[in-house]
């Protein structure tokens, strides 16, 4: 009999996991407190429950053979206890706990001699100021809260003394500011026997004005040695962690051509959405295969792709409509994913679009058309 798989989280990543698992008729249950989130609309075995709550995670997990996550902000104590009761938990709870804390993540890279920017953990800004005055740091530096940051919300650049007034007060780390040439990401997937696959690197291209992700492209505009180095670094990190399932590794290529690990996520990741259409086997399907002991799928790229997040337009809050949807649906190689969130608000992730074409110039032309045509807005 096949495993009963429990997935904590019913957002868009939960929805896409569920869709991938449905192809293999896997027995999947999801839990999320949202009763109308992206996965709730399609998943039959949907449990309303809070994945931050110890008792609710225990109750949900006890009926499963294997439990996984689509978000790392979950109750790890419950996952540790479920693991000791014999439920398989992938990724393993001690790894989720470590990854939840950017200070511990950085210590792991340092301890294992994996390339990453210099850092130090601090409790107060006063402590940092002492080190600064001793010459241990020179401004600008990057301040990050250790826990709970996402979408850049826990990241601050400290350029001058006046920035200390607005610095984060929670436990934080300071990192050397990397002279970034490109931001890239590699996703790996490991099974319990130690087999591992790695997808080709994607490149994140940011808007120089507002620093929001413009698009992601695969292949990344890096040379063959850099592709190999990025994948080798990702595989080496995944092996050292001993993680089962997906690991998304965000990296910087610095202006000296060196590749540094920025941070990781132990789950399906935005930087792997394109694998649904552009790879032989998607990140979602590979994760489910890995955690349920099925053979891993081929990560090979089938076509170049560009991915954009479909974000809620500025100035629009309320029930969503998608302007320009029909126009882009008629373009060959435009793959639209609407997450099914009822309400839009500025910059909310409402969906994503993967654009494919064997020719990079045509791919970029299609991207230009798509980006100026589709809008997530409220009815006027
Ligand atoms: N040490 C650094 N040097 C230079 N820039 C950095 C550094 N660390 C982070 N950044 C910039 O800040 C961005 C966000 O940082 P990070 O990925 O650590 O935060 P996050 O909140 O987890 O973001 P997200 O959820 O978008 O991945 C990076 O993509 C990069 O552009
Ligand atoms: Mg990041």
Asked if 271 and 301 sit in the same domain, the reply is: yes
Asked if 169 and 202 sit in the same domain, the reply is: no
Contact at 8 Å (CB) between 32 and 15?
Answer: no
Asked if 84 and 133 sit in the same domain, the reply is: no
Please tell me the distance between residue 88's alpha carbon and the centre of ligand 1 in angstroms.
32
Note whether residue 96 is domain-resident: no
Measured in residues, the chain has a length of: 380
Distance CA 370, CA 350 (A): 15
Q: Which ligand is nearest to the CA of 309?
A: 1
Asked if 153 and 215 sit in the same domain, the reply is: no
DSSP helix/strand/coil, 217: strand
Note whether residue 109 is domain-resident: no
Distance CA 194, CA 34 (A): 35
Note whether residue 99 is domain-resident: no
The DSSP bridge partners found for residue 197 are: 189
End-to-end CA distance of the chain: 52
Q: What is the CATH number of the domain that holds 216?
A: 3.30.470.20
DSSP helix/strand/coil, 252: strand
Contacts of 216 (CB under 8 A, 6+ apart): 202, 203, 204, 205, 270, 271, 274, 306, 307, 308
| pLDDT of res. 20 | 98
Asked if 160 and 226 sit in the same domain, the reply is: no
| pLDDT of res. 1 | 55
Reading the block at residue 164, the tokens are: 């200390």
Asked if 24 and 160 sit in the same domain, the reply is: no
Asked if 65 and 212 sit in the same domain, the reply is: no
| Domain encompassing residue 77 | 4-89
| pLDDT of res. 88 | 98
Note whether residue 105 is domain-resident: no
**Of 89, 107, 137, which residue sits at a domain end?**
89
Note whether residue 187 is domain-resident: yes
Distance CA 42, CA 17 (A): 11
Note whether residue 219 is domain-resident: yes
Reading the block at residue 18, the tokens are: 């569920």
Asked if 164 and 72 sit in the same domain, the reply is: no
In sequence order, which ranges of the chain are alpha helices (DSSP H)? Answer: 12-23, 54-61, 76-84, 93-100, 102-111, 125-133, 224-241, 275-278, 283-291, 325-329, 360-373
Given ligand 1 and candidates 148, 182, 262, which is best to mutate, with the most ligand atoms within 8 Å of its CB? Answer: 262
Asked if 225 and 362 sit in the same domain, the reply is: yes
DSSP helix/strand/coil, 260: strand
Note whether residue 172 is domain-resident: yes
The answer to whether the peptide bond before residue 213 is cis (omega within 30 degrees of 0) is: no
Contact at 8 Å (CB) between 105 and 94?
Answer: no
181 ligand 1 Cβ < 6 A: no
Please tell me the distance between residue 317's alpha carbon and the centre of ligand 1 in angstroms.
27
Contact at 8 Å (CB) between 269 and 248?
Answer: yes
178 ligand 1 Cβ < 6 A: yes
**Of 154, 176, 198, which residue sits at a domain end?**
176
Reading the block at residue 51, the tokens are: 């994945």
Note whether residue 98 is domain-resident: no
Q: What is the CATH number of the domain that holds 79?
A: 3.40.50.20
Report CA torsion sign: 222, 224, 228, 231.
Answer: positive
Question: CB count, 10 Å around CB of 36?
Answer: 11
Q: Are strands 155-158 and 46-48 parallel, antiparallel or unpaired?
A: unpaired
Distance CA 196, CA 244 (A): 9
Asked if 73 and 208 sit in the same domain, the reply is: no
Query: Number of structural domains, the chain?
Result: 3
Query: Measured from the CA of 178, which atom of ligand 1 is nearest?
Result: 3
* Residue with CA nearest ligand 1 atom 27: 151
Asked if 147 and 204 sit in the same domain, the reply is: no
Asked if 241 and 327 sit in the same domain, the reply is: yes
183 ligand 1 Cβ < 6 A: yes
Sheet of 375-378, strands arranged across: 343-344, 318-323, 375-378
Q: What is the CATH number of the domain that holds 169?
A: 3.30.1490.20
Tens of pLDDT, residue by residue, the chain (380 residues): 589 999 999 999 999 999 999 999 999 999 999 999 999 999 999 999 999 999 999 999 999 999 999 999 999 999 999 999 999 999 999 999 999 999 999 999 999 999 999 999 999 999 999 999 999 999 999 999 999 988 888 999 999 999 998 889 889 999 999 999 999 999 999 999 999 999 999 999 998 887 789 999 999 999 999 999 999 999 999 999 999 999 999 999 999 999 999 999 999 999 999 999 999 999 999 999 999 999 999 999 999 999 999 999 999 999 999 999 999 999 999 999 999 999 999 999 999 999 999 999 999 999 999 999 999 999 88
Given ligand 1 and candidates 155, 168, 253, 254, which is best to mutate, with the most ligand atoms within 8 Å of its CB? Answer: 155
């Amino acid at each position: 009999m096949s495993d009963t798989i429990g997935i904590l989280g019913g957002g868009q990543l939960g929805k896409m996991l569920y869709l991938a698992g449905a192809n293999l008729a896997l027995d999947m249950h999801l839990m999320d407190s949202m009763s109308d989130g992206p996965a709730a609309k399609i998943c039959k075995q949907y449990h309303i429950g809070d994945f931050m709550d110890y008792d609710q995670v225990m109750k949900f997990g006890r009926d499963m053979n294997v439990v996984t996550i689509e978000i790392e902000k979950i109750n790890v104590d419950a996952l540790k206890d479920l693991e000791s009761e014999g439920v398989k938990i992938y990724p393993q709870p001690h790894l989720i706990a470590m990854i939840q804390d950017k200070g511990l993540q950085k210590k792991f890279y340092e301890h294992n001699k994996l390339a990453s920017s210099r850092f130090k953990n601090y409790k107060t800004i006063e402590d940092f100021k002492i080190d600064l005055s001793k010459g241990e740091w020179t401004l600008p530096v990057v301040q990050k809260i250790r826990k709970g940051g996402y979408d850049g919300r826990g990241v601050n650049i400290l350029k001058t003394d006046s920035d200390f007034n607005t610095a984060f007060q929670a436990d934080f780390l300071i990192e050397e500011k990397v002279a970034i040439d490109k931001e890239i990401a590699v996703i790996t997937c490991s099974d319990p026997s130690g087999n591992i696959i790695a997808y080709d690197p994607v490149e994140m291209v940011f808007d120089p004005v507002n620093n929001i992700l413009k698009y992601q492209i695969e292949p990344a505009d890096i040379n063959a040695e850099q592709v190999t180095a990025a994948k080798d670094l990702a595989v080496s990190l995944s092996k050292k962690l001993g993680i089962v399932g997906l690991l998304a590794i965000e990296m910087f290529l610095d202006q000296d051509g060196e590749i540094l690990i920025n941070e990781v996520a132990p789950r399906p990741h935005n930087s792997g959405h394109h694998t649904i259409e552009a790879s032989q086997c998607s990140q979602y399907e590979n994760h489910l295969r890995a955690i349920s002991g099925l053979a891993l799928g081929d990560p090979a790229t089938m076509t170049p792709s560009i991915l954009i997040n479909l974000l809620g337009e500025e100035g629009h809050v309320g029930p969503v409509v998608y302007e320009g949807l029909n126009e882009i649906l008629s373009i060959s190689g435009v793959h639209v994913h609407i997450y099914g969130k009822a309400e839009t608000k500025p910059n909310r992730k409402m969906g994503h679009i993967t654009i494919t074409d064997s020719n990079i110039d045509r791919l970029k032309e299609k991207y230009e058309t798509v980006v100026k045509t589709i809008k997530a807005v409220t009815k006027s």
